[in-house]
Every structure is written in C-alpha cells, then in structure tokens.
Structure 1
Amino acid sequence: MKGTCHCGAVELEVELLHGLTDASRCDCSFCRRKGTIGVTARLNDLRVVRGEDNLTLYRWGTKTARHWFCRTCGIHTHHQRRSNPEEYGVNAGILEGVNPCDLGDVPWSDGVNHPSDR
C-alpha cells in the first residue's frame, strides 16, 4: 500500500501484516492526544519512498517507541512500537484508499497500563 502525509512531502510503501483487520487505538497519554488508528507492519515491510529527510522523530518516556511525523504538515505517519520493537504501527489515515471512518468500531488497547511498565 502507498501512504502519504497531508502535504505529500513524505511517501511510504508498506505491506500490512494483517491488512486492516488489526486496526486499533491506544489510550496512552501520547496516542490519545494523537488520535490515530494504527495498523501493523513488520520493520522490513515499510519503506520511505520520498521525504525521509522531512520526517522528524519524537521519543519520550522509556524512549523505546519512536514516532515519526512530517515536519511540514505535522501528520504522524508511523511509529516503532514499544510493545513489539520489531513492528511499526502505521497511521491508517495516511493509506491511499483508506478512510478510517469505514473501519467501524475500532478497539482500544490499554496503553495507560502498558505491559512494559510492569
């Protein structure tokens, strides 16, 4: 699949591990503010086609998760997960042909009580 930020400066190609069937939201302090719906890709299955130099990285807390944003339009494109650093969570809203409203009732994961915090 192809994904782009809002301004088009960043373009990704991604093969999703489970398609859109594992779409989820997280209620941690960061994700609930960001508000994206995430889908899964393995690290080797995501490639930045254009605009890698336009991505900015945000890390906080344990610094395990790595969140990338377009530095021009601010759209979150993907993040390397803390729960599984071998995976990316890809913002479903950047994917060509995907309207997150069409995904129905998307489940929430408990990021407030993250397993890595125990």
Structure 2
Amino acid sequence: MAVEYPPRLVALQAQLHRVRSQYAELCATLPWSAEPLEGWQAREGVHSHRGDVAASPGYTAEQKERTAAFERRLRRLAGLVMADSFWATVAREDVVEARMGLKRAHLVQGA
C-alpha cells in the first residue's frame, strides 16, 4: 500500500523520533530509580540479569524536571501525530498499515 503522507505529518513524526531518541539518551545517563532506593547483591540460585546493583541516589530536581519536560513533549507530539486530520482520509482497514508506514516515511521522503 503506497501512501502519500502530508509533509507536515512526516515532519511531526520525524520530530517525534528525534525527541524520543534524545529522551532515551538522557535516560541512559540517569540512576536506575527516580527515587532513592537501596541496591542489592546477586544471590546464588536467584537469576539476576544485572548482577549486583548499587544503591540509587534517585533523580535530582533538575533530572526530574528534564524527564518531565521530555515526557510532556513526547505526549504532545504523539497526540499531534495521532489526531492529525490526514487519518480521516485513510480507509479504516488501512489505518494500522499506514501508521506503521509513517514511522519510516521520513527516511523515504528525506525529511
């Protein structure tokens, strides 16, 4: 199924990809828990994919605000993509495939 997406929708989806990638990069630098929590040691006979886990100091106020700002931005962008008027022009049985195609459209259209 070949879908011609409006440029504004492709740009929104590309922006959503970028912001999601930036958010993932930020999360990779953060402690494993947003709140201070004790760590634990791996025990023999108990499967732990992480091994020993050091205590988490929790997020700082700045880290909490940065993650909250990213989450607000991600929700806003996802909402704009999902609620775009373009979707009313796509046959109901084709919507899922069209939405999946949009995730790659910026690569095809060079956005």
TM-score by length of 1: 0.23
Q: Of Structure 1 and Structure 2, which has the larger fraction of its residues in strand?
A: 1
Higher helix share: 2
Q: Which has the higher contact order (CA 8 A, sep 6+)?
A: 2
TM-score, normalisation: structure 2: 0.24
